Structure 1
Amino acid sequence: MDTVVYYSLRSLARLLYLFPESWSLRLGELLGSLAGRLVPKRMALCRANLRLAGLDEALSGAVFRFLGRNLVAILRLACSDPGHDADKVVVEGFESYLEARKRCGRVILITAHLGNWEKLARLQRRHSGHPLQVVGRSLDQRGADRFLRELRQRGGFTVLEKSRGVRAMLKALRQGNDLGLLIDQRVAPHMGIWVPFFGAPVSAVPVVSLLAKASGAAIVPVFTGIDAAGQERIHYLPELVQTGDEVAETKELNRLIETHIRRYPEQWFWLHNRWREKDLDQVDSKGRRAAEACAAEGDR
């Protein structure tokens, strides 16, 4: 079955690449819209998350349409060169990265599951000229995992298995690699700290600050999205000022993620259970007080 899935994905990617890009992306939107009707539980979770974030539930349709479009766009990357369409993407603030890299020799790039994050990684590798490792976990379906790893290798970057832990990340940084981290998903309460996210407490891991402190790396947030005019953009933000306060730095990074999700609300992965109520049931009284303080902070 793994082999069947792998070659099916390769064939699908080639087929999609044969069609004009606009046709393929439109097909993706239609399939995404259909998926929203076929998976009611995911649609319900999407709407619940939007409601919790204080956004209009009606965005759920656009979320699924973009999800389908984005999946097609990522599949097409498997057949394109790393620099394909690079000139069509507007890059803002790249000097933030260049200055940080020149000063520190290694950069931790912080982003989220927003826009086409796979394309962001390959364009970062192409523009910078420096090796990039992105932290992630293997897919459960081995055929799909093989396809995705080859797609990323074609883009000029590699995946550092999340299960290898902080030591492997530090080693990559000390060897002069840049490190990409997507930090917008749920973290088990016993592994993280409570921070406000769209006005509600979520558990977030302070690993970014720990890695930067131990390796001497700079921290540069970067996000991507498609604006209302259809222009794809990459936004490099100013380097995060490291104060040694892991909680404050983690809160600031999550605030920046929230800001850019609000900029492109339909382009974030709202189908992830980021605000899991059971998490609050798993913490002690100290943790609950911290979560309540975060909720109060988010309301201000």
Structure 2
Amino acid sequence: MGSKEAKTRGGWSDWLTDRVARGLIATALALPHRTRVRLMGWLLRRVVGPLAGYRQRAMENLAHVWPDMPEAERRRIAEAACDNAGRTMIENYDVAGLLDRMKDAKVSGAGLPEIERARAEGRPVLFVTGHYGNFEAPRAALVARGWRIGGLYRPMANPFFNAHYAANMHSLSDPVFEQGRRGTMGLLRHIREGGMGVLLFDVYSSDGTPIDFLGQPAPTLSSTAEIAVKTGALFVPFFGVRQPDGVSFEAVFEAPIPHGDPVEMMREATRRLEARIAEDPGQWFWLHRRWKPKRQAKRQRKRAAANIGP
């Protein structure tokens, strides 16, 4: 087997990582809900986060956007983000339980009348959100009430882990498409036919337009807004806000963002996410590389050398 093929299919390291992850997930799912959620939060906060470098990455991200923040406060937020990530992962691996808990969860927001009207009229709706709280909670709240909400997901680098991760995504509500040209076209057809879907926009994309996020430029794809404009879909930000008890959520559906220039629509979506982070920064996923400032600077130097401009 060539090295390229081995990398594509996953080697022993990926296989072993997946075996450990599967065992941990299965063990946690055997525990009572509150116990498992708190346990996974603790493991990510105290064990996995520090060992895997997630906590340090979160602290670096915090220093990038808020350089004057005291280190103790950065550490507190970074640990809270690790805790939330662990809780979210195990919550979303219990699809039946998530649907059951969200069917009676509080659902609020200025966008509710709009999406209910769109559903009654058979008009498409495109929900947009970020990795805040539990991003699947609002979708689960609607699915539990009889709605059909599709989505687009970014596949995991580990193909063994991705196999059950993708299956879990499908089990919540179909259709779910893998990120890429084919997946985007599939979601576009679904929305164009009057369907509803969810997209997360707060991930780094080298093809994206730099949009200030928490005061620093973050390449952001405008394709999410472009789909809404092309299909005439309502463009509705939603958030699954974790409550003080750590295990329940409020699903907030905000007022739709008016159609216009797709980049400006994404700027508004970014502002909506920033407002949520300002309320509780520990609920956002500081663990991922959202800005990649060194890579951005390198790309800008290449553009300048080629006289393309920024």
The alpha carbon displacement at 1:72 in A equals 2.4
The alpha carbon displacement at 1:221 in A equals 0.6
TM-score, normalised on structure 2?
A: 0.80
Q: Deviations over 1:37-57 (max 9, x none)?
A: 2124x3222101112232531
> Would you say the 8 A contact 1:132–1:177 is kept in 2?
yes
1:27 aligned partner, one-letter code: L
Q: Distance between the aligned counterparts of 1:84 and 1:10, measured in 2?
A: 23
What residue in structure 2 maps to residue 235 of structure 1?
252
Q: Distance between the aligned counterparts of 2:17 and 2:288, measured in 1?
A: 24
Q: Distance between the aligned counterparts of 1:150 and 1:84, measured in 2?
A: 19
The alpha carbon displacement at 1:110 in A equals 0.2
Q: Secondary structure at the match of 2:227?
A: helix
> Would you say the 8 A contact 1:104–1:216 is kept in 2?
no
1:44 to 46, 53, 56: 56
What residue in structure 1 maps to residue 173 of structure 2?
156
1:169 to 187, 192, 215: 187
**Counterparts of 1:283-298 in structure 2 under 5 Å?**
283=300, 284=303
What residue in structure 2 maps to residue 207 of structure 1?
223
What residue in structure 1 maps to residue 42 of structure 2?
30
Structure 1: runs of 5 or more not aligned: 290-300
Q: Secondary structure at the match of 1:225?
A: strand
> Would you say the 8 A contact 2:125–2:233 is kept in 1?
yes
1:180 to 198, 217, 227: 198
> Would you say the 8 A contact 1:109–1:222 is kept in 2?
yes
TM-score, normalised on structure 1?
A: 0.83
What residue in structure 1 maps to residue 234 of structure 2?
218
Count of aligned pairs: 282
1:266 to 273, 282, 298: 282
Q: Distance between the aligned counterparts of 2:309 and 2:252, measured in 1?
A: 35
Structure 2: runs of 5 or more not aligned: 1-11
Q: Distance between the aligned counterparts of 1:266 and 1:82, measured in 2?
A: 21
What residue in structure 1 maps to residue 116 of structure 2?
98
Q: Distance between the aligned counterparts of 1:104 and 1:237, measured in 2?
A: 20
> Would you say the 8 A contact 2:177–2:184 is kept in 1?
no
Q: Deviations over 1:261-284 (max 9, x none)?
A: 222311211111111112133133
What residue in structure 1 maps to residue 5 of structure 2?
none
The alpha carbon displacement at 1:171 in A equals 1.1
Q: Distance between the aligned counterparts of 2:103 and 2:140, measured in 1?
A: 13
What residue in structure 2 maps to residue 133 of structure 1?
150
Q: Deviations over 1:235-289 (max 9, x none)?
A: 10011111x2222211111111111122231121111111111213313359876
Q: Distance between the aligned counterparts of 1:100 and 1:256, measured in 2?
A: 22
Indicate the larger mover: 216-225 or 62-71: 62-71
1:136 aligned partner, one-letter code: Y
Q: Secondary structure at the match of 1:223?
A: strand
Residue 238 to residue 95, structure 1, CA distance change in 2 (3 Å): same
What residue in structure 2 maps to residue 294 of structure 1?
none
Identity %: 22
Indicate the larger mover: 160-169 or 42-51: 160-169
Q: Which runs of 4+ in 1 moved over 6 A?
A: 1-8
1:114 to 126, 132, 139: 132
